[in-house]
Amino acid sequence: MFQPKVLQPTPEPWFVEELKRLDPNLRVVWGYERYLLNRWTIERHLSPRRYAEMYKSLDGPRFVKQPIYEAEVVIGYRDFDLTPEWEHVMFVEEDEKFAPLDGRVLLKLRRTYAWERFHSITRAKFERQAEIDAQAAAQKRKRCDAAFDELMDHKREVWKLPFSGQPKAVLAGTEL
């Protein structure tokens, strides 16, 4: 019989304390209830203003029935929340498999926070430079294509090269 409450271990207290030091709005939960994955999930609580902005476009019920399968047979349904108050930050996994809560997870989370939350100006500058580089590469490609087209037009003009197909006339003595 399906019993999801059995699959809910509790995280180590030291790990929870380290999360709270990094951001008081973080929590670590067992991912089965929300994501149907047997691995740890780190989530961040949404502020009321951000929650309202994110979900104001939702028309319809907040909860939907989601089937629970076992060996391709529906064994029950659960209520799936379309507007959770917690947003996903990361899964704790190695090669898409279960991983324990340890210092490597905290290091990865700190790096993610450093990139996404604490140094947003640096990230924006990096993304803007990547966009400028992509535009420069596109302009260079466009210039090269135009120069090549001009060269081919010039060759056709000077040497009277046909665009394609068979020649219009056959040299004397080469007929079959």
Distance (Å, rounded) from C-alpha 172 to C-alpha 152?
29
Q: What is the pTM of this model?
A: 0.56
Torsion angles phi and psi, residue 72, rounded to 5: 60, 20
**Region for 95 from its dihedrals, namely left if φ exceeds 0, alpha if ψ lies in -120 to 50, beta otherwise:** left
- Calculate the alpha carbon distances from 162 to 18, 145, 153, 157, 168 in Å: 74, 20, 11, 10, 9
Q: Are 28 and 100 in contact (CB under 8 A)?
A: no
Read off the pLDDT of residues 121-160 as tens digits, 9 standing for 90 and up: 666 788 888 999 999 999 999 999 888 888 888 877 777 6
In this structure, the dihedral spanned by the alpha carbons of residues 136, 118, 104 and 26, taken in order and rounded to 10 degrees, is -130
Distance (Å, rounded) from C-alpha 31 to C-alpha 93?
11
- Give me 66's structure tokens: 């989601």
Read off the pLDDT of residues 31-62 as tens digits, 9 standing for 90 and up: 877 887 888 889 999 888 888 887 887 787 88
Looking at residue 33, its amino acid is E
